[in-house]
A and B are shown apart, each in its own frame.
Chain A
Amino acid sequence: MLRTVKPKNARSKRALEAREPKEVEGPRQAIFVKGTHTGEIVNNAMKELMALKRPDAISFSKKNPVHPFEDASSLEFWAQKNDASLFVVGQSTKKRPHGLTFVRMFDCKVLDMCEVGIEAFVSMHAFKTPKSTPGHRPLLHFAGELFDTHPRLAQLKSLLLAFFGGPALESIHVPGLEHVVSVSLAPAPPARAADDGTLLPRVHLRTYTVTRDRAGRAALAPMGPFLDLALRRHVPPEANAHLLALAMKRPKLKKQDVQKGLGKRRRNVEVDEMGDVRGRVHLGKQELGGLRGKRMKALRGGPGESGEESEEERPRERKRSRSGD
């Protein structure tokens, strides 16, 4: 356990405040840890995944005797020490060669984990193509029906989304989107394996650079790294249900945001082809009966009020007759 320190100067106070929980969270820091043995493949894969994750990535250059599925205490310690909430642990053993474990933390405790085995790896350097700028936001593409239905793959999607997708943005400069991380599934393996859930389809993780021509057509070019992954052990987030419940809590929407239309579907507001915001306003039924127009003699009175009118008329008639004289 770390000591709780009381800040002694303004700088350390600011640093501590930056670590405090916030309503709207920033990007998640990821730590890349090597296990007791990592082969060349795992090393390179981690290096290139880190290149994609930069600048929100921390590399642990030394080997560490860490086994996330047996004991996650060191991960929890590192998470607290480095203010990180994602881990990629590389480990290669005889039983599970070329393994990468994605770990997601909540409040410095392990929320869920997913181990994948690297079955094929093509480095970034294998493609002599332009690479994306570090720190640019990738587009994400998930292809495969199981991402919606199978809990293991739904978890993988959620993990990768947390890893690459980062915090939700309010706005983005679209021409600055340079690359896409595409995660696709191989066709489902034979049916006998599918029902017991041990044999899951292979996952292809590809990264491409995106270029768009004038007409808005997108063209992709391979950027690397290319990874073919096989799903292995995992800890579902439901295993830590109490943590998950806390992690899924959303802040209450502020009154101002509700008025702006955030959080709720904006109704009767649309953007036309020119990019202008157009709103439709609904008016109630118009009641012209109660309308007060200019008082005119011709409008005044109807046939029913003839009695009154005659009384009023009389003096004027007299006047007129006099003038006529």
Chain B
Amino acid sequence: MDVSEILASHEARQKLNVVEKEIPLVIDAGYLTVTDLNPVDKESYEEDTEAYLLATARDGVQALFSTLSALPTVPSPYGPLTQLPPPTTELPRAKPLPKPKPPTKWEQFAKAKGIQKKRKDRKVWDEEKQEWVNRWGWGGKNKEGEGAWLSEVKQGAEVDHDPAQELRNSRKARVAKNERQQLQNLARAQGSSSQAPEREERKKDIDRTLATTRISTASMGRFDRQLEGEKKLKGVKRKFEPNERSIEEEKKNSLAIISKLENESKRAKKEKSGGDEVLNVRKAIRSASGGKGSAALTRNSSKPKGKKGKR
């Protein structure tokens, strides 16, 4: 039996699968991409562009397929899946990297103490009922005793003492505490930098209030008993501008005054046209014109003029 022919044909077929180029093709299997960095063959390009493009594309695709076939596969219900290596080309991301979640106060503490996180089961064993019950939620273990039809009352307890209510209150308090801590963690996560100015603001506020209260007595603080370590109140020092100033500064100041006046006149206008608190203009017009409106009022006022002319 002569198999040399079969072997030769197989070899020829194998050859067709192998792509040989001057500069080897760059293959990025992660993105299923092949880059052919060989210069364009001008002659064959000009001869038949489409055929040339198709031929280069075929070579590239062939090389890519032979690379893919060499990669390891895993079986799946849909057929073998080829495991792709991570891509070598680096493309820019569409969104920034996610920021790591800041640790909660408990997490910080647990880390410092080396406490491992333990996962609690959703169900716990109830010895009395001899079955698994929820740790919380419907029929939860944490509500144990709240629905008891009979409970022991210690001697000397108050008349309205309700043990079930007591248990419920303490559970609610625990929930509220947890919620508060969650909020605190959130606030801390949102930025410790924004917390400091808030504190400063509060300090100033307190100082201002204190200063106001100190001069809010009948003697304006004159005959008040001084506390130990209390500082003398500092009043506002008057400041005077120098008589001689640069022209620019003077100009700026006068412009500021003008703009202030302008604003004031605008505001006054607004108040006049709109709801003035002393006089309700709309109501006044309505009563003066007998419900006919301001237009009728002006017409009426101009009428006598006409009559005068006639006479």
A interface residues, Cβ below 8 angstroms from B: 20-23, 25, 28, 85, 104-107, 111, 137-145, 147-148, 157-158, 161-162, 165, 168-175, 177, 180, 182, 184-188, 204, 206, 208, 210, 212, 215-220, 222, 237, 244, 246-251, 262-263, 271, 275, 277
Contact = CB atoms under 8 A, between A and B. Distances in A.
A156 B294 CA distance: 70
A161 B58 contact: no
Interface in B37-51: 37-40, 42, 45, 49-50
Given A173-B79, A184-B53, A222-B54, A139 B32 contact: yes
B57 A141 contact: yes
Main SS of chain A's interface residues? mixed
Nearest to B99: A21
A187 B40 contact: yes
A219 B17 CA distance: 11
Interface of B: 13, 16-17, 30-40, 42, 45, 49-50, 53-54, 56-58, 60-62, 64-66, 68-74, 76, 78-84, 86-87, 89-98
27 contacts: A22-B98, A23-B98, A28-B94, A106-B95, A139-B32, A140-B31, A141-B35, A141-B56, A144-B36, A147-B37, A148-B37, A161-B33, A162-B92, A165-B31, A168-B30, A168-B86, A173-B81, A174-B69, A175-B79, A180-B57, A182-B53, A182-B57, A185-B40, A186-B40, A215-B16, A217-B16, A218-B62
A212 B65 contact: yes
A111 B84 contact: no
A85 B95 CA distance: 9
Contacts of B74: 171
A169 B33 CA distance: 12
Given A141-B34, A249-B96, A161 B91 contact: yes
Contact of A141 (B36, B49, B79): B36
Given A182-B56, A247-B93, 8 more contacts: A138-B32, A147-B35, A148-B37, A165-B31, A170-B84, A172-B84, A187-B45, A263-B86
Contacts of A262: 86
A248 B90 contact: yes
A165 B33 contact: yes
Contacts of B53: 143, 182, 184, 204, 206
B84 to A, nearest CB: 6
Main SS of chain B's interface residues? mixed
Nearest to A20: B98
Contact of B64 (A105, A139, A277): A139
Contacts of A185: 40
A126 to B, nearest CB: 12
Contacts, number: 187
Contact of A208 (B31, B57, B84, B91): B57
A172 B29 CA distance: 10
A237 B92 CA distance: 9
A37 to B, nearest CB: 30
Contacts of A142: 33-36
Contacts of B80: 173-174
A142 B35 CA distance: 5
Contacts of B39: 145
Nearest to B14: A215
A172 B73 CA distance: 9
A275 to B, nearest CB: 6
A139 B92 contact: no
A324 B43 CA distance: 107
